[in-house]
Structure 1
Amino acid sequence: MIKTVISAIAALLCTYSIATAQTRLVSKPIATLDRPWAMAVLPQGGFLVTEKAGRLVHISDAGEVHTIAGAPRVTDYGQVGLHDVALAPDFKASGDVYLTWVDGTDGGALHLGQGRLDLNAMQLVDFRVIWRANSAGGRGHPGAMIAFGPDRHLYLTSGDRQLGSPAQVLDDSRGKILRLKPDGTPATGNPFPSAPEVWTLGHRNPYGLTFDSTGKLWSHEMGPRGGDELNLIAAGENYGWPLVSEGRKYSGLNIPDHDTQPQFTAPLAEWTPIIAPAGMIYYDGAAFPEWQGSLMLGGLASEALIRVEIGETSAREIERWNMGRRIRDLATDAQGQIYVLEDGDEARLLHLSRGQ
């Protein structure tokens, strides 16, 4: 009842301001959703949004919400359910959409699927599984984030599922970033002949994945007790989890830092206390020219929007906005407009604009 009243008040207010020393933002609600996880901006306008319980929805620019039929059946428990949604690089011609999810009927493996979006019928046509993790199980952390590279291959994060050790087992899909062809098969030229889908290993829970304008791949992942990481991803590198971390075990016991074992690739930025990063975009739009060349991160525990300035081999937080809600995902459109997706029940899709 209290949450309903609070949401009603927020809807009446329509907009609210977020202050920072350098930039003032105004946030305008577009639609309200049930535990949304990820979104994609459609080139013709509107959005596709996944909800963790298994619903894929289309949201018009005016905020009308419609269910898209044909999404896969998922298992919604703990940290798993329906996760990312991504458009194929040739979406305007093909209409192809990619989804990630966990299905407990086959042991709880992470899945990747592809289908064609028919907005007239509001359905995914010919949707099918094109990749499945080769090891199932674990209590959480599916990763499940998709990014298409300049090479037009599909990069996919696969979390360690809170198990730790699979991240260092090369032929186990968990704890990896994978490089696949658009049909879900291993891409040619990957660095490990014995594990042909693997691009990098030693990851915990990578919940953000994006390319910058120079073609470099960036990923962030949640640390255990402290030690959230932002990593520059390079083929064949081992990022060390669970053998090294900038955080500690949940019990408080120590984990060696990256600098104690330099054979593992260290993060370029880390956060202790945690921000619990979720969602990430590279920004090069016109709406906020002063942000061009930055990474924009959502924060769950930190309830924040975070701007990170990146260089060739450097990264540092520059600005942080208190959003007052857990932020699950971010997206930008061709005009450089920024959209933010809140986390949880009665979560909102927001449009950010510059305040006065």
Structure 2
Amino acid sequence: MGCLASGGAAMAQASVERVATGLENPWAVAFVPDQRFLVTERAGRLRVVGPDGRIGGPVSGLPPIAAGGQGGLLDVVTDSAFASNRTVYVCFSEPEAGGSGNSTAVLRATLSGDATRLENVRVIFSQRPKVASRAHFGCRIVEARDGTLFITLGDRFSRKEDAQKLDNHLGKVVRIQKDGAVPADNPFVGRAGALPEIWSYGHRNGQGATLGLDGRVWMHEHGAQGGDEINVPQPGRNYGWPVITYGENYGGGKIGDGLTAKDGMEQPLHYWAPSIAPSGMAFLTSDRYGPAWKGNLFVGSLKFGYLDRIVLKDGKVVAEHKLLEDGRARIRDVRQGPDGLLYVLTDESDGKLLRLRPQ
């Protein structure tokens, strides 16, 4: 755990190539065969981008989406067996039927053979309760090695105290089976007053998550003003928000009692002060950029518009290097593609899908 000053570093190992432009506030990118990409646009559209950068029309079959503020169409990931089952998982802001609330939800669907529509669409998780808010939805999806799905869920901003309560999904990481069932070994299964989907709690707003080199799920989450965190959520553990934090209220002033540590609450692996507003997260497992980058963690910064290359040693952050900072575009997502290269989305009205080419 620690707060390190970012060290500048030239992009000696890579150059930037534009794959596609003209995406409206893209949020996530996933990879499908024939060098194509699935990209979500926060306004509520799922697009297929061809290898030539051409953007297809909206994929049909999505349910109603509460687009607005930070909400809309969010994460998309393909199943580990996509080549045979064409299954995708999509995270979105789900409107309340007959009400003004909304919440984060995840659907499972089959992408049609021509990639123009979603079929067999079924919502496999819906955050409870619905809240009248346009902020802090999360939401990233990670498939673990055992086939379960981890989902990061925001505290919805106005309900931060609920992150400490186990009778709701606000400010939690949940773990479910691919059909939405609860794994029998989840930490709160059978505990009275606790929702069995919960894996860990005391989170604020996780907009980045990925499978670590060690097989564990890694995530980061937004702090308030300062205190963005990297965590490796463990079963049943409490990550402290809003009781402990390295951030402060917007405009200044302590949050709660102003504590940064408390018995029974986990310290972050790493934190940023000031906040970088992190989004997107990926480990580089390929050797396409040489040994210096292999095993590094990559995180986008919305606030400062750079890609953070994070060097780890013995599970701790030992250095950070700013990449792509000349573009000053909000970095929303970063993923390693099947070709071993890094792909980045910029969150703009004319959003871009970028590829980092080895020099």
**TM-score of the superposed pair, with normalisation by structure 1:** 0.90
Q: Match for residue 69 of structure 1?
A: 60
Q: Match for residue 148 of structure 2?
A: 153
Q: How does 1:78-97 map to 2 (within 5 A)?
A: 78-97=69-88
The alignment of Structure 1 onto Structure 2 pairs a total of residues equal to 337
Runs of at least 5 residues in structure 1 that lack an aligned partner in the other structure: 1-18
Structure 1 stretch displaced more, 234-243 or 307-316: 307-316
Q: Match for residue 111 of structure 2?
A: 117
Instruction: Output the CA distance in 1 between the equivalents of 2:122 and 2:10.
Output: 48
Question: Does structure 2 conserve the Cα–Cα contact (< 8 Å) formed by 1:177 and 1:199?
Answer: yes
Name the CA shift for 1:258/1:89 in 2 (closer, same or farther; >3 Å): farther
Question: Does structure 1 conserve the Cα–Cα contact (< 8 Å) formed by 2:64 and 2:95?
Answer: no
Q: Match for residue 40 of structure 1?
A: 30
- Structure number with greater CO (CA < 8 Å, separation at least 6) is 2
SS at match of 2:139: strand
Q: Give percent identity, aligned residues only.
A: 34
Give, in angstroms, the shift of residue 312 of structure 1. 4.1
Question: Does structure 1 conserve the Cα–Cα contact (< 8 Å) formed by 2:245 and 2:260?
Answer: no
Q: Match for residue 136 of structure 1?
A: 130
Post-superposition CA distance 1:180-228 (Å, at most 9, x none): 0001121220111232101100000001111112112211001001111
Give, in angstroms, the shift of residue 22 of structure 1. 6.5
SS at match of 1:234: coil
Q: Match for residue 348 of structure 1?
A: 352
Question: Does structure 2 conserve the Cα–Cα contact (< 8 Å) formed by 1:209 and 1:220?
Answer: yes
Question: Does structure 1 conserve the Cα–Cα contact (< 8 Å) formed by 2:174 and 2:200?
Answer: yes
Q: Is 2:181 aligned against 1:179? A: no
Give, in angstroms, the shift of residue 351 of structure 1. 0.9
Question: Does structure 2 conserve the Cα–Cα contact (< 8 Å) formed by 1:219 and 1:233?
Answer: yes
Instruction: Output the CA distance in 2 between the equivalents of 1:110 and 1:231.
Output: 21
Question: Does structure 1 conserve the Cα–Cα contact (< 8 Å) formed by 2:246 and 2:260?
Answer: no
Instruction: Output the CA distance in 1 between the equivalents of 2:273 and 2:232.
Output: 19
The answer to which structure has the higher helix fraction is: 1
Q: Match for residue 187 of structure 2?
A: 191
Instruction: Report the residue type matching 1:336 in the other structure.
Output: G
Question: Does structure 2 conserve the Cα–Cα contact (< 8 Å) formed by 1:202 and 1:241?
Answer: yes
Q: Match for residue 242 of structure 1?
A: 242
Name the CA shift for 1:331/1:155 in 2 (closer, same or farther; >3 Å): same
Runs of at least 5 residues in structure 2 that lack an aligned partner in the other structure: 1-7
Question: Does structure 1 conserve the Cα–Cα contact (< 8 Å) formed by 2:31 and 2:338?
Answer: no
Name the CA shift for 1:68/1:189 in 2 (closer, same or farther; >3 Å): same
Name the CA shift for 1:316/1:186 in 2 (closer, same or farther; >3 Å): farther
Instruction: Output the CA distance in 1 between the equivalents of 2:103 and 2:206.
Output: 16
Give, in angstroms, the shift of residue 311 of structure 1. 3.8
SS at match of 1:92: helix
Q: Match for residue 13 of structure 1?
A: none
Q: Is 2:329 aligned against 1:333? A: no
Instruction: Output the CA distance in 1 between the equivalents of 2:254 and 2:12.
Output: 39
Post-superposition CA distance 1:299-355 (Å, at most 9, x none): 100101001123444124421121420100011122211111000200110111134
Question: Which of the residues 2, 10, 26 maps onto 2:15?
Answer: 26
Instruction: Output the CA distance in 2 between the equivalents of 1:21 and 1:352.
Output: 13
Question: Does structure 1 conserve the Cα–Cα contact (< 8 Å) formed by 2:14 and 2:289?
Answer: no
Post-superposition CA distance 1:266-286 (Å, at most 9, x none): 111111111100000011112
Q: Is 2:216 aligned against 1:216? A: yes
- The Cα RMSD (Å) is 1.7
Q: Match for residue 5 of structure 2?
A: none
Question: Does structure 2 conserve the Cα–Cα contact (< 8 Å) formed by 1:97 and 1:117?
Answer: yes
Question: Does structure 2 conserve the Cα–Cα contact (< 8 Å) formed by 1:299 and 1:306?
Answer: yes
Q: Is 2:103 aligned against 1:102? A: no
Question: Does structure 1 conserve the Cα–Cα contact (< 8 Å) formed by 2:261 and 2:267?
Answer: no
SS at match of 1:75: coil
Structure 1 stretch displaced more, 245-254 or 195-204: 245-254
Structure 1 stretch displaced more, 312-321 or 164-173: 312-321
Give, in angstroms, the shift of residue 259 of structure 1. 4.7
Instruction: Output the CA distance in 2 between the equivalents of 1:319 and 1:302.
Output: 13
